[in-house]
Structure 1
Amino acid sequence: MTEPDVAPPTETEKALFHAVLRAGRVSLREVMEQDAAAAARLLELGLLVHYQVDGWVAAVNPRTVGARLGATLREHATGLLARADRVAGDLGELAESYDSAQRRARPGPGITHVASLEQIQHRLLVIEDEYREEGLAAQPGPRPPEFLDDDSRMRKALARGVTADVLYQPVSRDTAHTACYAAAATDWGVRVRVLDEPFTRMLIFDRRVAVIPAAADNAVAAFVEDPVVVDHLVAVFQRDFARAARVPWHDLTGRQLPETARRIGELLATGLTQRAVATRLGLSERTVAAHIARLRERYGAETLFQLGWLMRDGAR
């Protein structure tokens, strides 16, 4: 379905319309000689009408034209909505084939072992494109730079409303590229903490699927979708994350607070409430709440009052 051309007239086309309107009626030959392209567009839109018997061209009431074009657009939009409703149904057969293939790939109830690094990465990409609510990541040991250089997937997830908690070990504080990544991720809204204890590598998406090592060398991954097992792994992660320490990533890297966050911190330090800060800065309460959550993580504050107290000497 081709979208109708209802772009407003250009300044040249408007000038030609006004000229015809002032003249009352003009021969088609004269109008075309003045500006053939503008005349053709006005005739196409219906702002000029051609009386073929005597060859005259006259202006048409733009309100009448607007009503007609509006009706055309509404009809076009109705068709698009109908097509949108049919899309899911049209892909239904393909979706069923995809689900069947996924079920055949599972060797056990709710657990899939994947031994190929390429296949592991492919399955992770599919999951990361689909999850919408929460991501939990426990990453022991040093983080290779190539795993942190591409932050596009994390940022896309956060942009669609995902919350993210990441757990590292103390070595990450002494690794420049990891500390820089953690400082940047904190600005995006990720909570990155450090636990000085051994823990197992795991990724959990929307509390629906967990990915854990299935071999000592991490060459095999287990994709777990059994709800009971996933719930247990979530509880393990939450227990470890609650014991983990907040890290002043920004101080380690010399990264300054973003300007908006700095202003919010300054106003909180004066005793203003979250709503008052939002009003003062012309921001939504939701935006201010997100900045406050990042500030609390950065300063290790449990309450809004404590955060204001910690920032009373000026947001750093």
Structure 2
Amino acid sequence: MGEEPDEAARQLYLAIIAEGGRVPTGEVADADRGALQQLIDIGLLMVNRMDRCYTAVSPRSVSDRLGAELRSEATRLLVRAENLPGALDGLTRAYDAMPRPTDRAGGAVHVEGHVHIRQRISQLVSDCRSEVLTAQPGHRPADTLQVALLQDVQLLRRGCSLRTIYQPVALADPPALAYAEEVTRHGSLIRVLDEPFQRLIVFDRTVAVISANDDNSTAAFITDPATITYLVGTFERDWARADTAGAAAPGQTPARTIPDRVGRLLARGLTQRAVATRLGLSERTVAAHISRLRDRYGAQTLFQLGWLMRGSRDDR
């Protein structure tokens, strides 16, 4: 039951008041039935079956009653909140005692296998209390984003902060855009860096996770304070140089800016291979973008294309 009437219900209540606070049951329009039921549920209207009418009730008495109910519910919830840690104490102790990889490499634990890596990261997300910093180069698979979305929204709802750096290509797919919009709505901050960087996650500035091989099938979980300080400094440097994810024009997705980014990098003298590395794209994808840009500008060579695009360059 809602505690406050919506605008339609408010207007119906005012109309009934204007008629003296009473309206016959047969005179309520079908369009007003939803608003009428809402007023009855809240208690602002009372059904008088003997006179076959609806009678207005004082909002003051409704407010007093609902206020008392809400205060009682708030007290009950506070008592539950106070008792909850004790009720879950046994489960908490079992979770804390769960076997985990031990530190065998001077502040770094190597975990092999994507399943085990994801499990350990999930544990760190659930244990996080204040902040997560993450750098995510390249594409993120749709199934990975679905899992990340559930974890990250819960993290943000707990009051933790989440900052993420992406490459432009990472936000080119609809699932990635949907993920970014949802976590941003819950308070996450996202920036885009048009340069190569390494995958990194830092939890509460006490545990850092980095890839330990090229295919990301092994991850190093680092707890050494000096190393974490260095990694956080690297993240903050990249964060300061990155662009906000909403820097594109309204309605323009990052995917639509990739051909222009390719062209602007060519205009700065980068080779096709260098552009692919810089944007985290395959050379074949870059070649396809270049082919379309040549058609658009009527250029025969990369040099001509770069020269023609110099006037539209806005990257510095």
TM-score by length of 2: 0.49
Which structure is larger by alpha-carbon Rg, 1 or 2? 1
TM-score by length of 1: 0.49
